[in-house]
Structure 1
Amino acid sequence: MSSAPAPALRLEGLERRLGQRSILAGIDLRVEPGECVALLGPSGCGKSTILRLIAGLDQPDGGRILLGERDITALPARRRQVAMVFQSYALYPHLSVARNLSLGMELRGVSRQQRQLEIARVLAMLQLEDQSQRRPADLSGGQRQRVALARALLRQPRVFLLDEPMSNLDAQLREELRPQLRTILCGSQAPVVYVTHDQQEAMGIADRIAVLQQGRLQQCGTPQELYGTPANVAVARFIGRPQINLLPMQHGLLVGIRPEHLYPVTEGGLPVQVLSREWHGASQQLTLSSPHGELRWTCDGSQPIASTLQLGWDRRHEHRFQQASGLRC
């Protein structure tokens, strides 16, 4: 949004500890100008901690944060030119949408005419032109979230940080807002770091996804790379719904098969029994018992399924992992 070239954001060996407990362990990550990288992982994996360190709200116990060639690790939060969007919106309830948006610009000394022009531009971009005089309580959840995004855009930041911005919205509204949010973020040249625990949201919005577990970066890549070639069992389990099937084999090997890659065979397959079935319209998801434990199978919704059958798969779709380390073979 700024006329100056946007710098890349780099995290180098970032560490954070709480007493003797390691919250983050040696995080290395680069976010290019105009790129959106999602931090994805279960609760407590360190996602929001990374955002707070980038924003300057907390200080790391090791490592560096660089914006372009500038080390901002020790820089106060107010001087980092970072815009952060929270899940709670953090809007002033007694002020109109227009006043919520203009207040920060007033504090930065932006002229009244320029404020009006910028606010009108951002409200039009987010389809909020008719809401400028309404208060947050009079808006829907989706509208409030867009106002919070508008405020971040008006700061013309060098980095965008979004912390689970759609977690308070219902599933249908999240699905409707996802492409809008993607368009908005793509319109900025600033690096974007987007925290979520929802893999569908991450895959729909981010250029790349960084999967975290217990404070460690497991893998960073495009959604296609993470799904097609997971680096380890942790990533394979976390990416993809229904969850990947992991079958223990001889010689300390785990073989992973995605539920959609299973198919019925007449002989020589894995014997299974149907335990439960969920119909999803065009597809159905079945939970099966097998000699290897429970399996998940996704198939055509109109396909009749016997209560007992045999399943096979193409070996080209196998994901092989070392059972001891969990690493991809």
Structure 2
Amino acid sequence: MTPLRLGYLYGLGAYLLWGFFPLYFKLLQPAGPLEILAHRIVWSMVFVTLLLAALRNIGFLRALARRPRALAGIAAAAVLIAINWGTYIYGVNSERVVETALGYFINPLVSVLLGVTVLRERLRPAQWLALGIGAAAVGVLTVDYGRLPWLALTLAVSFAGYGLVKKQLGLPAAEGLFVESAVLALPALGYLGWLATAGGLRFGHVSAGHTALLVLAGAATAIPLLFFAGAANRLPLTALGMLQYVAPILQLGCGVLIFHEPMPPARLAGFALVWLALVVFTTDALRHARAAHRARRAAAPADLALAAPDSSP
């Protein structure tokens, strides 16, 4: 199997798993969102610890301990991903799966906005147009909901911020998830201990199947992240960008077709504007990538000519 084909399989695997997450997190009720989040953190750390031990790759911690700025960045990434996970779990278990899907649809636009505001990147006209259409979509959805779609915006901003920090850190997926989970594990264990003392802990008190599903939240978190890392190492960025829409499409399908959440005309119009913004954004990205590829191919013969030895007498 070629690396490119393997990259597509890894990418599809990651986004398919993320797309069906609403079905999984619904099964974790009657545990509350914070208890589910705490278990997700703790069991993620356990799963990745076992994985790294099997790969004999624990030694990276010594090198990381000598990089205080990297440790601060990991702490920031851990807080952002905890906000994202907790908001997502709350959205799914409060029957707002459609709004969670909206968050991941607008995530690419928020990432572009962060590029402008944080990294001082310059946008092309089509990217500004996509951002403008996205802002209009948020306005339409605000009117429809009677409030800002804060849950979707929180998901989009937290995940875009997490991606920005991770890009700057450059840690591999398993190692990064281990350290992030380790940062969050103590508060998570403290919360579970308090919940047990207060008599509100559901873990071990519902059924054996429910307990097993809470434990498996660690693997369910880590496996798609590892798949994503495998895809990112093998696929062009444009291909990975196209694949990312698989997850929110599936989440939207879960919300509307399986959980029967409402989709009134005004909400559908807001989503249509989001999709239009993504079409403009993606078309521009593909056009720019093709132009850059043609420029590299055109430059290659000249580079070879410059590198060739002089055979003149």
Question: TM-score, structure 2 length as denominator?
Answer: 0.26
| Greater strand content | 1
| Greater helix content | 2
Higher relative contact order (CA 8 A, sep 6+): 2
